[in-house]
Amino acid sequence: MEFWNSTLTEKSWNILLEINKKPFKFIVIGGWAAYLWTKLHKSKDLDIVLKDMQDLDYLKQNYALKKNDNLKKYEISFEEIDVDIYVPFFSKLSIPVNDIKNYTTKIEGIEVVSSELLLILKQGAEFDRAGTIKGNKDQIDIIALICFTNVDFKKYNDILKKYKLEHFRARLKQIIINFKDIKYLDLNPRQFKLKKEELLKKI
């Protein structure tokens, strides 16, 4: 099942493929990173981390780049698709933006954050957006990640400890226990029950 309108997600995916050819370096986080890892749910908007502040000059010259001081990010709009750009030493995420480059891999030629760090970033977003549609999507992405990728929970816990985010572990267990939207996981209730038991033991 798709969470967003397929026309919008297709347009968003094409924007991602197009900017991936451009001469600036970025890391995909957010919903599209979750899709690249799980191949389950496409996203509407794009969230990227700029690897080098100097690339802001390229973006300013080639796009209608806007600075959002309140949310500590930059933005480019392609009609109904937004690209949110997080930059070192300005943007605020669960993990310092400048450190995210230490936790990446490439999937389909696109640099994407590691599954362990993506899980933590998704949890940070879920904390901020709890009770909203985007918060629900965050929970679906979180559950999809831990069900359909090989998240290394030792690495996950080590990162939580390093950045003093140990409370994320208890929140993750809570999300797993209370999760009801299994229609988005392509699992039946028994499959999810077994998966849930397995995950709670691992965490």
Within-domain flag for 1: no
Within-domain flag for 164: yes
Model confidence band, residue 6 (pLDDT cutoffs 50, 70, 90): confident
For 195, the domain range is 6-202
Asked whether residue 100 carries a pLDDT value surpassing 90, the answer given is: yes
Q: What is the C-alpha to C-alpha distance for residues 170 and 132, in angstroms, rounded to an integer?
A: 21
Q: What is the C-alpha to C-alpha distance for residues 25 and 187, in angstroms, rounded to an integer?
A: 36
> What is the CATH number for 47?
3.30.460.40
Count of domains for the chain: 1
Give the pLDDT confidence score for residue 2 in this predicted structure: 60
Give the pLDDT confidence score for residue 183 in this predicted structure: 87
- What is the number of other CB atoms lying within 10 angstroms of the CB of residue 38? 18
The pTM of the full predicted model, rounded to 2 decimals, is 0.92
Q: What is the pLDDT of residues 118-155, one digit of tens each?
A: 999 999 999 888 778 888 889 999 999 999 999 999 99
Residue 16: partners with Cβ closer than 8 Å, 6 or more residues away: 28, 32, 46, 110
